[in-house]
C-alpha cells in the first residue's frame, strides 16, 4: 500500500514581494505628490490675477461713472433709500466695499436697492470684496498718494489701494512660482 501524503500549499505574497510593491508605491508617490502641490500654487496665482483684474475693472468703471472719483474717496453713508443705506465713511475699506458692491448715486452714497438716484453699480456682484488668495486676507491698506509705482508694504494684508490713482495691488512682497513679485501682477 502506498501512502498518500497531502502537503498543504500556502497561498499569498511573500515578504519580499510585499516590500517590492511598497517601494514602487513610495517612488510613485514621491513623483506625483509634488505635481499636485504646484497645481495648488498655480491655482492661487491664477485666482490672484483674476481677482485683481475684476477689482481693477470695477474701480475703473466706478470712476468713469462718478466723474473721475475712485471708490473710497467719498462717503458711502448718508443716502436716503428704501433699501439698506451704505455705512462706509470716506477713506475706509467699508466705503470702498459699499461703493463697489451696492448701487450708488453720483455723490458716492450707496443703497442695497436701485432706488431713484441710485442708478450706478453694483460693480462687483458679491456682498464683500474678494480676499487675496495668496495671503488669505481681504483687508485693504489704503493710501492717497497718487503714486502709480506703489509698492507692497508686506504688512500681511490682502490688498493695497491708492484712492487717488485708483491702483490696486496684492500687498505681498513675496515672489510667485516664476520669481515675479505678487505686487507686480
pTM, entire model:
0.78
What is the C-alpha to C-alpha distance for residues 88 and 102, in angstroms, rounded to an integer? 12
Question: Which pLDDT value is given to residue 1?
Answer: 58
Least confident residue range of 116-125, 132-141, 153-162 = 153-162
pLDDT tens column, 41-85: 889 999 999 999 999 999 999 999 999 999 999 999 988 999 999
Helix or strand run (H / E) with residue 111: strand 110-111
What residue ranges do the domains of the chain occupy? 45-184
- Is 126 exposed, middle or buried, given 0-12, 13-18 or 19+ CB atoms closer than 10 A? exposed
What is the C-alpha to C-alpha distance for residues 86 and 94, in angstroms, rounded to an integer? 9
Amino acid at each position: 500500500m502506498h501512502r498518500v501524503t497531502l502537503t498543504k500549499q500556502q497561498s499569498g505574497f511573500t515578504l519580499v514581494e510585499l516590500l517590492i510593491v511598497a517601494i514602487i508605491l513610495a517612488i510613485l508617490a514621491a513623483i506625483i505628490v509634488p505635481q499636485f502641490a504646484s497645481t495648488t500654487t498655480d491655482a492661487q496665482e491664477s485666482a490672484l490675477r483674476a481677482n485683481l483684474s475684476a477689482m481693477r475693472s470695477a474701480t475703473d468703471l466706478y470712476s468713469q461713472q462718478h466723474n473721475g472719483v475712485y471708490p473710497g474717496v467719498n462717503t458711502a453713508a448718508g443716502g436716503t433709500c428704501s433699501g439698506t443705506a451704505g455705512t462706509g465713511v470716506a477713506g475706509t475699506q467699508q466705503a470702498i466695499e459699499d461703493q463697489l458692491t451696492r448701487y450708488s448715486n453720483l455723490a458716492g452714497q450707496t443703497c442695497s436697492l436701485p432706488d431713484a438716484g441710485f442708478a450706478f453699480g453694483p460693480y462687483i456682484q458679491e456682498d464683500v470684496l474678494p480676499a487675496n488668495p495668496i495671503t488669505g486676507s481681504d483687508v485693504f491698506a489704503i493710501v492717497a498718494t497718487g503714486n502709480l509705482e506703489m509698492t507692497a508694504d508686506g504688512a500681511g494684508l490682502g490688498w493695497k489701494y491708492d484712492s487717488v490713482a485708483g491702483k490696486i495691488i496684492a500687498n505681498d512682497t513675496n515672489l510667485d512660482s516664476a520669481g515675479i513679485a505678487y505686487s507686480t501682477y
